[in-house]
């Protein structure tokens, strides 16, 4: 039994926004794979719920006329894995979704919940950072957009005001067309585990020159992060083995992993350096480059 | 303040209408209100899969699934798998391969395999893929070898 005092089912996004206005202490519940565990743990702040579980309006994955890819926040990881649009255009996100938990969790947990949780280990977050995802947020009488990099304010804290709902992730064509990516999750087990380090790379090459390079990590700092120093340092360089070494050397200056019971700072730093090479190499291979 | 709500759903093909406490998980309704004790509570946090059931043919951990979400859905549990005393193909494969030891995880495993064999019908899969697809179910007795054999058998051709 969960310690729920009030449970109201929303029939639409507008209804959910209205319910959040009427019930200022209420929290949203979607897949429930985090909220119900917090409730079971006796954590406070979740006793009033506005329920958006399975809301069709939030599950849509589509490509609009301008070739933007829109992923509804209520899409489950299984919806993402099975989507041809994601498979064909954002395979990196497909890899990230496949690395989440086990089948039962992937069948109900949503990408919106993964990000709104605000945790650094969210498997989908580093890919969304590398894709420059834009978050569409709706509140009473307003719709706003914010880049994923500005959404994370601190551990467990995201830029979602009371009464607002994250409705979709938008990936614009200039952020995926012509790009090749890779997501690499390192964990103690091959499944059902929280990432020790998650690494997403998205890049573009032309005539064996790296014309764009983006690298993002989860668990390499208090929130998921991009590595601007490394990205700038290697931009427009020739693809080579040396380039990979340069990436793994510069990357240390971009990250700030910490020691936790899961892994020490030193081990995480070692992983970050190694994964930066492996994920970049795989993305380069997919781009048709030889390294 | 206890809140109750009416939900209508089908359980193993039978329509039911229940007046349930909104605080309950689907697992609690199955076990306490319907007396279907096949699905077990193991970890209670979605890691062990002992509570696995199918909701509209989708495999879920019923311990972290609100009972109110079952409204208008079709639920399948281990109790509905055998028909007229004849085990399902998956159940029979688990028996034949000795994939059951203490039995606590078995109802969840059988539902996971039932969902998996349907999704992967006709595909040739590696042992690694089979193991990954069952990563959400834990067994503390068997060491998984016989379970993997049972899953492979479940995917094989039907016996005449």
Q: What is the pLDDT of residues A245-269, one digit of tens each?
A: 999 999 999 999 999 999 999 999 9
d(CA A131, CA A175): 6
Tens-place pLDDT, residues B37-70: 999 999 999 999 999 999 999 999 999 999 999 9
Torsion angle in degrees (nearest 10) through CA of A216, A220, A224, A225: -50
Q: What's the pLDDT at B159? A: 62
Inter-chain touch A9–B68, beta carbons under 8 Å: yes
Mean pLDDT of all residues in chain B? 95
Closest CA–CA distance from residue A102 to any residue of chain B (Å): 4
CATH number listed for the domain at residues A6-51: 3.30.43.10
Q: What is the Cα–Cα distance from A256 to A265, expressed in whole angstroms?
A: 8
The span from the CA of B89 to the CA of B78, in Å, is 13
Confidence band for B153, pLDDT divided at 50, 70 and 90: very high
Q: Give percent of chain A above pLDDT 70.
A: 100
Which fold would CATH assign to domain A180-286?
Answer: Enolase-like; domain 1 (3.30.390)
CB A109 within 8 A of CB A77: yes
Count the neighbouring beta carbons within 10 Å of the beta carbon of residue A170: 17
What is the end-to-end Cα distance of chain B in Å, rounded?
57
Closest CA to B93 of B113, B77, B108: B113
pLDDT at residue A268 in the model: 97
Model pLDDT, residue A222: 96
Q: Would you say the CATH fold of B89-155 matches that of B4-80? A: no
* CATH architecture classification, B89-155: Orthogonal Bundle (1.10)
The residues spanned by each domain of chain A are 6-51, 56-175, 180-286
How many residues does this entry show for chain A? 291
- Out of B25, B52, B135, name the one closest to residue A192 (CB): B135
Residue keyed to tokens 């051709």 = B157
Mean pLDDT of chain A: 96
B87 neighbors B80 (Cβ within 8 angstroms): no
The DSSP element (H or E) to which A139 belongs, if any, is: strand A134-139
* CATH (one of 3.30.559.10, 3.10.20.30, 3.20.20.70, 3.20.20.80) for B4-80: 3.10.20.30
Check pLDDT > 70 for residue B34. yes
The reply to whether CATH 3.30.465.10 applies to domain A56-175 is: yes
Whole-angstrom CA distances from A150 to A62, A157, A174 are: 24, 11, 19
| B150 vs B142: CA distance, rounded Å | 12
Is A37 in contact with B45 (Cβ distance < 8 A)?
yes
Residues of A with CB under 8 A from a CB of B: 1-7, 9, 29, 32-33, 36-37, 40, 51, 53-54, 78, 101-105, 107-108, 190-192
Q: Which of B21, B64, B136 sits opposite A103 (nearest CB)?
A: B136
3-class DSSP state of A277: helix
**Burial of A188 per CB tally in 10 Å (0-12, 13-18, 19+):** exposed
- Could B64 and A102 be called an inter-chain contact, meaning their C-beta atoms sit closer than 8 Å? no
Q: Is the confidence metric ipTM above 0.90 for this complex?
A: yes
The whole-angstrom distance between A33's CA and the closest CA on chain B is 6
> Minimum mean pLDDT among A2-11, A133-142, B151-160: which range?
B151-160
In our burial notation (b when 16+ CB lie closer than 10 A, e otherwise), range A114-126 reads: bbbbbbbbbbbbb
A94 vs A192: CA distance, rounded Å = 17
**Interval B9-20 mean pLDDT:** 97
Separation between Cα atoms, residue B19 and residue B33, nearest integer Å: 10
Contacts of B69 in chain A (CB under 8 A): 32, 53-54
Cβ pair A243, A234 in contact under 8 A? yes
Rounded-to-5 percentages of helix, strand, coil across chain B = 35, 20, 45
Report the predicted TM-score, pTM, of the whole model to 2 decimal places.
0.96
Strand blocks (E) in chain B: 4-11, 14-21, 52-55, 58-61, 74-76
Calculate mean pLDDT across residues A178-202: 94
Rg (CA), chain B: 16
Q: Please, which pLDDT band fits residue B1 given cuts at 50, 70 and 90?
A: low
Domain regions of chain B by residue span: 4-80, 89-155
């Amino acid at each position: 039994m969960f310690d729920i005092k009030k449970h109201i089912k929303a029939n639409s996004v507008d209804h959910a926004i209205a319910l959040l206005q009427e019930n200022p202490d209420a929290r949203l519940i979607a897949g429930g794979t985090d909220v119900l565990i917090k409730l079971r743990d006796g954590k406070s702040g979740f006793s009033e719920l506005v329920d958006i579980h399975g809301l069709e309006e939030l599950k849509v994955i589509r490509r609009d006329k301008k070739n933007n890819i829109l992923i509804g926040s209520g899409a489950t990881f299984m919806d993402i894995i099975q989507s041809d649009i994601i498979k064909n255009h954002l395979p990196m996100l497909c890899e990230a979704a496949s690395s989440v938990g086990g089948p039962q969790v992937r069948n109900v947990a949503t990408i919106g919940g993964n990000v709104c949780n605000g945790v650094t280990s969210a498997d989908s977050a580093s890919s969304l950072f590398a894709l420059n995802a834009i978050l569409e947020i709706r509140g009473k009488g307003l719709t706003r957009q914010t880049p994923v990099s500005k959404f994370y304010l601190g551990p467990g804290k995201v830029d979602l005001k009371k009464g607002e709902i994250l409705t979709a992730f938008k990936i614009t064509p200039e952020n995926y067309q012509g790009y090749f990516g890779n997501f690499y999750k390192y964990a103690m087990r091959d499944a059902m585990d929280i990432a020790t380090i998650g690494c997403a790379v998205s890049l573009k090459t032309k005539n064996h020159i790296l014309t764009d390079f983006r690298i993002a990590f989860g668990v390499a700092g208090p929130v998921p992060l991009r590595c601007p120093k490394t990205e700038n340092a290697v931009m427009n360089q020739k693809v080579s083995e040396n380039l990979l070494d340069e990436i793994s050397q510069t990357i240390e200056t971009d990250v700030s992993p910490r020691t936790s019971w899961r892994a020490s700072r030193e081990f995480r730093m070692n992983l970050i350096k190694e994964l930066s090479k492996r994920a970049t190499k795989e993305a380069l291979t997919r781009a048709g480059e030889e390294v | 303040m206890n809140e109750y709500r009416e939900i209508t759903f089908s359980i193993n093909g039978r329509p039911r209408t229940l007046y349930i406490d909104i605080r309950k998980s689907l697992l609690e309704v199955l076990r306490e209100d319907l007396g279907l004790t096949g699905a077990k509570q193991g970890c209670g946090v979605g890691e062990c899969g002992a509570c696995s059931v199918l909701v509209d043919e989708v495999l879920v951990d019923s311990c972290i699934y609100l009972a109110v979400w079952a409204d208008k859905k079709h639920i399948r549990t281990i109790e509905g798998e055998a028909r007229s005393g004849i085990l399902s193909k998956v159940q029979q494969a688990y028996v034949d391969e000795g994939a059951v030891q203490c039995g606590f995880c078995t109802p969840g495993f059988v539902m996971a395999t039932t969902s998996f064999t349907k999704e992967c019908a006709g595909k040739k899969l590696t042992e690694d893929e089979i193991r990954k697809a069952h990563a959400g179910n834990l067994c503390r007795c068997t060491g998984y070898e016989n379970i993997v054999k049972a899953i492979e058998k479940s995917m094989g051709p039907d016996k005449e």
